[in-house]
Amino acid sequence: MLELLDQLKADIINGCLERGRPLRQQELSERYNVSRIPIRDAISVLRNQGWLVAHGKAGVMVPELNWMEAEDLYQMRSLLECQLLEYAFPNITYETLGKARDINRSLNGSDLSLLERGRLNWKLHATLYEVANRPTIFNVVAILNEQVGRYMGFQYGPLQYREISQNEHEELLDLLTQEQPEQAIRLLRQHIEVAGQQLVEYLKATS
Partner DNA sequence: AAAAATAAAAATGTATACAAAAATATATTC
Partner DNA sequence: GAATATATTTTTGTATACATTTTTATTTTT
Do 200 and 192 form a contact (C-beta atoms < 8 A)? no
CA 120: distance to chain centroid? 10
Q: How far apart are the first and last CA of the chain?
A: 34
The site that binds a second copy (CB under 8 A) totals a number of residues, namely 25
Separation of alpha carbons 200 and 155, rounded Å: 10
Residues 18, 51, 79, 119, CA torsion sign = negative
Return the biggest CA–CA distance within the chain.
56
Do 50 and 63 form a contact (C-beta atoms < 8 A)? yes
Among 8, 28, 73, 175, binds a second copy (CB under 8 A): 73
Among 5, 10, 34, 45, binds a second copy (CB under 8 A): 45
Contact between 6 and a second copy per CB under 8 A: no
Amino acid at 86: E
Amino acid at 205: A
Among 14, 21, 37, 133, binds DNA (CB under 7 A): 37
Residues 61, 159, 202, 200, CA torsion sign = positive
Smallest separation (angstroms) from DNA to the CB of 55: 10
Among 8, 23, 88, 195, binds DNA (CB under 7 A): 23
Q: Which does 14 bind (CB under 5 to 8 A by kind): a second copy, DNA, none?
A: none
Identify which of residues 5 and 10 has a Cβ nearer to DNA in the complex.
5
Residues that bind a second copy (CB under 8 A): 37, 40-41, 44-45, 48-50, 68-69, 72-73, 75-76, 79-80, 83, 134-137, 139-140, 143-144
Residues that bind DNA (CB under 7 A): 1, 4, 22-26, 29, 33-38, 40-41, 57-59
